[in-house]
Amino acid sequence: MNIYPTIFALHLLAATVWTGGHLVLALTVLPRALRQRNPQVLLDFEQGYEKLGMPALAIQVASGLWMALQLVPDWEQWFSPTTGMERSIALKLALLGSTALIAAHARLRVIPRLSASTLPLMAWHVAAVTLLSVGFVLAGITFRYGGL
């Protein structure tokens, strides 16, 4: 039985949670927290969203790598891309690496010291991860057209 459509559907659903959630965070919650100079507004949203966001990201990585393996079985090619599909996969991996680095820095260095004065620094981290999440969606669409 071909499970690719099911995995693809899971990938799309989890994408709505990851990218949609970050757009809500960056465009509605963050401006309010900055206006009120109140980091608690951000922490309250994160505490709720995290329970959905982290499993969604895990689904993205697992389903994305599985689909990438179906499309380009020779995974070593992902790291020295020569075709459009290989370049699209390489871009996805670069977006994933950047997201992991920025999220880890926020969690380990910014959030433990979050205050009204460090809120702008946190805002840059949120903006960066949100832009990367939109990048994931745009990179995903390129596969339909033979890749980059």
| Nearest residue to 28 via CA among 44, 52, 16, 13 | 44
Total site size for ligand HEM, rule CB under 6 A: 25
Of residues 114 and 137, the one with the C-beta less far from ligand HEM: 137
Please list every residue from 44 through 103 that binds ligand HEM, using CB under 6 A.
57, 60-61, 64-65, 67-68, 71, 89, 92-93, 96
CB of 81 closer than 8 Å to CB of 87? yes
Residue 4 contacts by C-beta under 8 Å, 6 or more apart in sequence? 67, 70
- C-beta of 69: minimal distance to ligand HEM in Å? 9
The alpha carbon of residue 117 and the mean position of all alpha carbons in its chain are separated, in whole angstroms, by: 26
Of residues 11 and 126, the one with the C-beta less far from ligand HEM: 11
- C-beta of 46: minimal distance to ligand HEM in Å? 17
Distance CA 29, CA 1 (A): 43
Distance CA 52, CA 80 (A): 34
Distance CA 53, CA 10 (A): 14
Q: Which of 22, 26, 41, 136 binds ligand HEM (CB under 6 A)?
A: 136
Q: Tell me which residues touch ligand HEM (CB under 6 A).
A: 8, 11-12, 15, 18-19, 57, 60-61, 64-65, 67-68, 71, 89, 92-93, 96, 133, 136-137, 140-141, 143-144
